[in-house]
Structure 1
Amino acid sequence: MFTTGIQVLVVLLLCAVSAEENGRSFELNIWKEEPPLQEQLSLVYKELERLRHDQALMKQKQEDINQVIMQCTQMQPSDDETVNVTSLQEGSSPVSFSFFNESEYPEEDSDMALDPCYRYTKLDQAWRATNFSTKSVTCDRQVQWKGWYRMYYRGKSIQMPERCVRKERCGTHAPLWLVGGHPRVRDGIVTRKVCGHWNQNCCHFKSPPIQVKACRGNYYVYKFVKPLSCHLAYCADVNTLVCGRCKRDETCTSKDKINWFCKKSRRRVKTKVHFFASYPGSLRGKVNRIHYRKVYVNQGRAFNSRNGVFTAPVTGIYQFFFSTQTAANANTKTDLWLVVNGYWVAVSHTRMNGANSVGNLSTYMTTLRKGAIVYVTHSSGYSWANSASNTITFGGSLLLVRR
């Protein structure tokens, strides 16, 4: 009954509004006769207003969500990076939308979860470019800097200039550039000075230092702070846009800090070189090169089991050993020679006249240049071995690398 009464009151209210629009007066005498119903109708009216307000709020929230989704779909993070996306406005305190999922990293990788190379704010403002000039200047002192930032230019990775920038560029009066150059990946987080160009002095404004870190993938992250005065702003060097196209095995380099290019990285020198091999059979007479077929250790892969040759991977000091076992009643000498670059440099010599068997192990240490060839030759006599004895052997190690 209460619901029906409310519905009737709503219909009467609508009729009253319609009558008023048509220029006719309409009076609800029931309000005067039954005040409680008037109060109920007032409550209904307030409830309708609240519903309209909630509906407007929901519509605004939906529009905000759609805008965030649109921004996310336009992101182009390189190398599958997970970043924080921020719309940074002058004088504002940025609100980050974090896409970093800590559950993807196990506990032992907690350091990666805190690494600024994987957790930073995207700073993409075209007016920061070194080729941008305008009468409308900005000031980074009005920005609420918080955490680490990676610089972009129209969606492409970019970095701070390492040389003086002309004044009235980068959308400000005194552009801020990085003093001391960018660090290497192995340097970790470093502190660098920042200078602003003014009055024909590249370091007229000495802004507070910032922290910088080099990340794998040829990009950098910066921990920006407020400059001491206005109008100063952090600059982005458009000449470094090429660095974002470098491959993983390339580094971005420049001789004049103006023209940048991708350069093939130096391959890491394998400083751990060890090998040990044996010949599981008998040898008689002259064998120019023993093919040690059974390889137990070959760290650094410098020994070739197919031809029995060791090739020095780097310049350094090496130590080799080789051995033989002379058979009983051979009644002749047995010689094995270590050959380095075609020169016979060391011998393993045995000689037996009785009904016995004897073995001999020889060692040799030398300095070799990269690419030197070492192997063992059986010059005379008779040597024996089987799969279990390991009496005809050849091995060596790199002791010291020399540049």
Structure 2
Amino acid sequence: MGALALAVFVTLSSCVSVCCSGNTHSAEETLRMEKKPQAAAVKELQTSECEEATHDHEALAQILETNPEEPAEEAAGSATCGEDDEEEDGFSPSEAHRRDLDPCFHYTVLDQAWRATNSSTKSKMCDRHVKWAGWYRLFYNGRSLQMPERCVPVNKCGTHAPLWLAGPHPRRRDGVVTRNVCGHWKDKCCAFLSTPIQVKKCPGNYYVYKFTMPSTCYLAYCADVNTLVCGQCSKYELCVSRDKINWRCKKKNTIPMKVHFFASFPAPLTGKVKRIKYSRVLVNTGRAFNRWSGVFRAPVRGVYQFFFSTQASGAGLKTDLWLVVNDYWVAVSRTLLPRASSAGSLSTYMTLLNRGAVVYVTQDGGQSWADAASVTITFGGSLLVQWRESE
């Protein structure tokens, strides 16, 4: 720790001597906006650096407090998390692998009060001193929040030029997006166009960020305290704001899904048929029925009603058609004729299904009759009521 303090002191002493001598070319080379305006901004900032150099020991000490066993440049958070905001009953190995790679479940907590948009500290912080690695989630005193999408006043967020997100946060379906980051200085909201960062929206109405080293000092990423309310929104709500200052939770406008299907098999069936492939599809609203496999897969959670029928003939021959839901035989359509004749049988079944549930019809024995012109061996169903996933 003593060697680290000595190294920090030597670094700061070098910084002071360089900035006070008026040598600004190294900072100018890091800027990514127009050269002349940014060069002037850098010169102004470096003048401020001379004034703030005496406070850098205190600023770096704050970072060191985050992880006293590591160098200051590596203290970019407090913990690595793998929490799930939404509990699930279970998931497949492929989903487990996906989660292992998903930054929504593997990020570093960044809970530093000085980053708040309402924070103004004597010691100015600079995120160029931080060695950023991986993904981060912003917190303020243990409560989740997000970066501001508006210009933040200078000397806020514990720095000279606060960094804000120059673009909207993504939606869930957008996945990982790249956004520009601006630093406000001297009445110019984007006086510094820092290195772009990556952003992703996660289940539970929070965001993770892949921060990068800013273009110069003193710049630091902001945490917008006005968005603390967003952490209270349910997964059926959006956090919205017209002025990017006042935020609120708003219920999502969901359109109920329409699901209807009706299919038939155009030929006789004899004996056991594990899964009837109803190849003649008359209705398939919502495209949840697969004619090639004969399987209906529930697209959403809700209450469904199914029907299935057969036409049987012959004396003393029992014909059984079973409705199978997730490999459970749940309902039967049975025909047993005491004498030579022909008769049809229709059965219905109503149930609550989770999204992804598999439904099909099997013939357990007997003989069902149909031809290309008839509609006697049938299978169909409808979604009656769509339910929320948590209900």
TM-score band by shorter chain is: 0.3 to 0.5
Query: Structure 1 length normalisation: TM-score?
Result: 0.46
If asked which structure has higher relative contact order (CA below 8 Å, sep 6+), I would say 2
Of structures 1 and 2, the larger Rg is shown by 1
Query: Structure 2 length normalisation: TM-score?
Result: 0.47
